[in-house]
Every structure is written in structure tokens, then in C-alpha cells.
Amino acid sequence: MIAKYYLTIRPQTDEHHAVHRDGCPFLPDHEKRIYLGTFNSGQDAVLEGKRHFIKTNSCQFCSKDHSGPNEQPELHKRVQKALIPVEPEISLSYNTNLLCCLN
């Protein structure tokens, strides 16, 4: 799917510059990004971004079309339901709730 891609000028905490697809909620303002062009995939956009900054990767939110085979399964598939208690271990009462509100 052809889309417009942008590269952030400011690096992330891991020192990589993120490539975002047009419409991403994490896309920075116009003065804080570089327009890379239109591409068929996020991988192509990341390769173009590496021409600007060597440490470039894709935005985890908007560029899921090129995440690798080592991607984590969705949260509901990782959670082991046996570890989640059915009933709370702490008995809740009106006094307990009131005490929590005061703290």
C-alpha cells in the first residue's frame, strides 16, 4: 500500500530516528520531521531514512507492515490466565475504600 513517510529529526531514547507513516498519531510537527517520499512499504522508507541518519528504525505504532519475525505476540496471547486471580485477595469494605480515599 502506497503511503507518505516521514523521518523524525530528533532521535528517540535509543538514539534511533523513527520513520512514521502519514497519519500516525506520533508524527511530530512539520519543522521536526523530514519528508522521505511515498513508498510501497515501511521497509523501503526505513532504507531511505538511513540515507539521512544511519540509526533509523520504524515507528512501532504505524509501521507494523515490516516488523520482523521476532515480534512479540499480542498481549492477550501472552497473559497466562491462571496467574490472574479470580477474586481479589484483599477484602474490600466501605471503611477500606474510605481509608484509601483519605490517603
pLDDT score, position 81: 56
pLDDT score of 90 more than 70? no
Give, as one character, the DSSP assignment of residue 29: P
pLDDT score, position 92: 55
Paired residues of 6 in beta bridges? 20, 35
Extents of the domains making up the chain: 3-72
6-35 pLDDT, tens digit each: 999 999 889 999 999 998 999 999 999 999
Distance separating alpha carbons of residues 26 and 44, to the nearest angstrom: 20
Query: At CA 43, angle to CA 70 and CA 64, rounded to 5?
Result: 50
38-87 pLDDT, tens digit each: 999 889 999 999 999 999 999 988 766 544 444 454 555 555 555 556 66
pTM of model > 0.75: no
Paired residues of 38 in beta bridges? 4
